[in-house]
Amino acid sequence: MNAQQLQRILASGEDSNHQFKREISRLDSLAAELAAFSNNGGGRIFIGVADNGQIIGLTPEQVRRFNQQLSNAASNNIRPPIHPLTQNIVTDNGVVIVVTVPNGLNKPYMDLQGRVWVKNGADKRHVTSREEMQRMFLNAGLIQADTLPIPDSTLADLDEKAFNAYFQKRYSYDTDPAKLESTLTSMGLAKEQQLTVAGVLLFGKQPQRWLPVCIIKAVAFPGTSIADINYLDSEDIYGTLQEQFQRSFSFIKRNLHHVQNGRGFNTLGELEVPPVAIEELLVNALMHRDYFDSASIRILVFRDRIEIISPGHLPDNITTDEIRQGKTKRRNPVLSDHAAHLLPYRGLGSGVHRALEAWPHIELQDHRNGNEFRALVARPERATEPVIPPVTGQVTDPVTDPVTDPVKRLLQTLTDSALSPSAIQQTLGLKHRPTFRTNYLYPALETGLIEMTIPDKPNSSQQRYRLTAAGQQWLQQQHKKNQQP
């Protein structure tokens, strides 16, 4: 770095990677700064610079004193020790020392009081939350959440039938009932006669009894905002990871459109987003979520996109660009090992790459402050356009009337009363529920021609659907047109 480069950096001000100091008066303060940078990807400290970026400069005596302070702080006041680099830059106002602190490899770094420091914008803070401390140990590879035993669980909470089937399929021979405990322990599924997090999530009889936050909350909205007061579909998805994957995949599929893409008229058509892209992103969320975090995985289906939100930002400062290129770090190694035989998962860091190859319209967002990772999957534009425009008092030209035949048939079944979904489906003579929802029910709801009788509980067994004022008006318009000579 030369003086011109220094000036450009100072003109930008302090941030999470650049800290300005006039001088160092206390070793514990310097140690805290060094530890915070080491815990947060590294950075630079500029000594001899005021908070506003003005160069104050250091005398030769101050330079010698600071180098001694830095050596003591890095070696004796931080655990484990770190190894920063320094560069002296001569300016018109004196010497500026640039201290480069590398990203630490042995996190978390602590001061002599045992406090863990992290960057908080341009400032720093010490970690007090147990969850955040656990997450730092997790990201450093010192502990894995999936290997921790679950208190009060026993081997009786294992679904032995499911485990035995998996074991036989993977190893081609049956388990020995007399050695079940040792087998589970060697596979990372049990510890000290208790099931581990991995054991419960993969083969537990009732996983959410022990891990109630390990569910997937899925909601489909008619519009583009999570603030919508109405929604089309909602489901809390429980069970083992394999069951959650299958039900989540089904939820997304039933809330997407099918397109013909050159297929025959009588075929269901292809899903508007390639299934392989959805599969890979779902597996990625299940495998790499932060199981120390109390949040659940969320699936939000909007008119223009799908959002798959997983607790836990990318570990160890991996970036979204790096995972696009296949870089990976397994946060839950035991789950990953077994999932390769239970889910469409390979564990090679190629899942996101395959998803992008199948559907390039995916945005990856790593939210470190919120501790979550988001995959935003854009839906095709043709699927986001309203099926019909809002109904007005004008009679629509029958040549350009955009109401589809399935929606017309559905509206005609609701002429006299509100009906349940199964009653409407039966009246229409439809046996395939996804077809009924995709081609009939959802388009009619999206355009406001029908409405739910219990909008705040879309999955209620008492749910019924009825015509709205717009739907009744549309039918009246059709009746008038049919009577015209």
How many Å apart are CA 331 and CA 316, to the nearest integer? 10
Is 305 a member of any domain?
yes
Instruction: Report d(CA 279, CA 288) in Å as an integer.
Output: 14
CATH of the domain at 274: 3.30.565.60
The total number of structural domains in the chain stands at: 4
CA 279 to chain centroid, in Å, comes to 14
Question: Who's near 417: CB < 8 A, 6+ residues apart?
Answer: 466
Phi, psi of 219 (to 5 degrees): -140, 140
Residue 385 confidence (pLDDT): 40
Kind plus residue range of the DSSP H or E element containing 363 = strand 362-367
Identify whether residues 358 and 251 lie together within a single domain.
yes
Count of other CB atoms within 10 angstroms of residue 481: 13
- The phi-psi region of residue 48 (left if phi > 0; otherwise alpha if psi is between -120 and 50; otherwise beta) is left
Report CA torsion sign: 287, 290, 295, 299.
negative
**Are both 418 and 436 inside the same structural domain?**
yes
Domain edge (last residue) among 193, 210, 227: 210
304 and 192 in one domain? no
- Polymer length of the chain: 485
**What pLDDT is attached to residue 244?**
95
Looking at the structure, tell me whether residues 379 and 392 fall in a common domain: no
In this structure, the answer to whether residues 67 and 83 fall within a common structural domain is yes
pLDDT at 310: 95
For residues 379 and 461, state if they share a domain: no
Predicted TM-score (pTM) above 0.85: no
pLDDT for res 263? 55
317 lies in a domain?
yes
pLDDT at res. 348: 64
In 396-468, which ranges are continuous DSSP H helix? 405-413, 421-428, 433-436, 442-446
Residues 296 and 441 in one domain: no
* Per-residue confidence (pLDDT) for residue 64, from 0 to 100: 92
Give the whole-angstrom CA distance, residue 304 versus residue 385: 9
- Does any domain span residue 135? no
Give the CATH number, domain containing residue 436: 1.10.10.10
The answer to whether residues 444 and 423 belong to one domain is yes
**Residue 49: which CATH number?**
3.30.950.30
In this predicted structure, what is the pLDDT of residue 35?
A: 92
Q: Return per-residue pLDDT of the chain as tens, 485 residues.
A: 888 899 999 999 999 899 999 988 888 889 999 999 998 889 999 999 999 999 999 999 999 999 999 999 999 999 899 999 999 999 989 999 999 999 887 888 889 888 888 888 888 888 877 667 766 766 665 667 888 899 999 999 999 999 999 999 999 999 999 999 999 999 999 999 999 999 999 999 999 999 999 999 999 998 999 888 888 889 999 999 999 999 999 999 989 987 766 655 555 568 899 999 999 999 999 988 888 888 999 999 999 999 999 998 887 668 888 888 777 777 888 998 898 888 887 766 677 888 999 999 999 999 887 889 999 999 997 543 433 334 333 333 333 345 777 888 888 888 778 888 888 888 888 877 777 877 788 788 877 888 888 877 777 788 888 888 888 888 888 877 777 65
302 is a domain residue: yes
Does 371 lie in the same domain as 322?
yes
Burial class (CB in 10 A: 0-12, 13-18, 19+), 25: exposed
| 416 occurs within a structural domain | yes
Residues 104 and 231 in one domain: no
Look at residue 232 and tell me if it is in a domain.
yes
Residue 307 tokens read as 């959002």
Domain match, 363 and 270 both: yes
Q: Is the domain of 225 the same as that of 342?
A: yes
The token pair that represents 323 in the structure block: 């995972």
Structural domain includes residue 301: yes
Among 352, 383, 414, the domain boundary falls at: 383
Last residue of a domain, one of 354, 383, 412: 383
Instruction: Report yes or no on 332 lying in a domain.
Output: yes
Range of the domain at 460: 387-483
